[in-house]
Every structure is written in C-alpha cells, then in structure tokens.
A and B are shown apart, each in its own frame.
Chain A
Amino acid sequence: GEQVEQRPPHLSVREGDSAVIICTYTDPNSYYFFWYKQEPGAGLQLLMKVFSSTEINEGQGFTVLLNKKDKQLSLNLTAAHPGDSAVYFCAVSPTSGGNYKPTFGKGTSLVVHP
C-alpha cells in the first residue's frame, strides 16, 4: 500500500524565516494531495489541496508544490510568524474505484520564535 514519508519531524525557525516541509509518497496512482494544520488541543484543519499535476498553489503566506515525477509534495512557508506554530501533516489519497482512504505523513512540529 501507499507509504508517505514526511520530513523533518521537528522544525524551529525565527519569525520572518522560511520553512519547508517535504513529503515523499510511493504510489504513482495517488491523485489527491493535502496539507493539514493542527494547533494544540484541536483537530486537523485543511490548509491546502492539490490534484494530479505538477502544480503550485499559493495561500496566505505559503506555497505548495506537487512534483509527480519525483513523487514529492512540499509546503513552503515564505515568511513564518509565531501564529504558524503548529503540527503540519501531509496526506495522499488514491482515486481508484471510489476508495478515498488517505495516507498521512507522521507530521512536522513547527515552532516559530519571535
């Protein structure tokens, strides 16, 4: 089955610095890709989604890149601020036969220091 490796497990940066989190997956048939943010004591919150193509999506202060050739998904915070401190998870989902059981990375704990 699908395997997702997420790195790094921990990341500490200063306010204004950039931060990059990378996920590598194994199933070339994976179709839907997601980033989630989890703040302390809360559930995961959908941050961004990308679909089956090399794609860059930009949100408020972050960029998501999908590279299907290398089976890699990345989240780049361009200028981190303390409110970005959280645990971030990537998730990868197939599309075959209506099976949308996603596989999650193990998460990256990001701390942004003022």
Chain B
Amino acid sequence: EAAVTQSPRNKVAVTGGKVTLSCNQTNNHNNMYWYRQDTGHGLRLIHYSYGAGSTEKGDIPDGYKASRPSQENFSLILELATPSQTSVYFCASGERGEQYFGPGTRLTVL
C-alpha cells in the first residue's frame, strides 16, 4: 500500500483561481516536503514542515502557502494561480534526509 499519496493526480486551473494540492503519508514521519519539477531545473523545494503545525519556506516559496494540520497531512496552496506555476508537484515525507515521494500532481494553469 502506497505510503505517500497525493490528490488530485491531475489538475487544470484558471489564472487567478485558488488551487489546493493535498498530500497524505502513513510513514509517521515528522518531516514533509513539497517540490516542483520542471525540465532543466530538477527538483526545487517550495515548503517543508518538521511536524504538525509547522511550515518552513523552501527555496522558491513565492506564490505558495503550505499547511500541516496533522502528522499525516501536508497541503500546498496556490491562492492566485499563474501560468508560471504549471508544473509537476511532488510531496515527500522523510527522516534524516531520507525521503519517500508521492506519485506527483500534474498542474496546468491556463
């Protein structure tokens, strides 16, 4: 059974709309991460969390918010989506730097 799941797997949004990407983990890991993956850029860290109630800015946080309401759940929120946020988004959970990734969400902002 998959330990890190993401929903939705695919999303088409309109410019200016609000988008919420959800992540759930059953690994009981304290740390969770949100990345985006674009050709030529590899993986870029958006936000991460050390535990329920905590969120930290990653390397590219502008335009994104994060929420960690529980150990298991970590959401990424785009309040005003823009076409530049079209990408594949990955969530991961982990300990001591070791990470376990979800299958990804492909987001297209028109």
Contacts and interface: CB of A to CB of B under 8 A. Distances in A.
Contacts of B100: 46
Interface residues of A, number: 25
A4 to B, nearest CB: 9
B101 interface: yes
Nearest to B43: A104
B48 interface: yes
A25 interface: no
A95 B96 CA distance: 7
Main secondary structure on chain B at its contact with chain A? strand
A46 B99 contact: yes
A49 to B, nearest CB: 6
Given A89-B42, A98-B50, A101-B45, A44 B90 contact: yes
Given A100-B94, A101-B58, A44 B42 contact: no
Contacts of A107: 42-43
Given A43-B103, A101-B58, A91 B97 contact: yes
Chain B interface size, under 10 / 10 to 19 / 20 to 34 / 35 or more = 20 to 34
B103 A42 contact: yes
A45 B97 contact: no
Contact of A102 (B4, B99, B103): B99
A3 to B, nearest CB: 12
Contacts of B50: 98
B95 A42 contact: no
B101 A34 contact: no
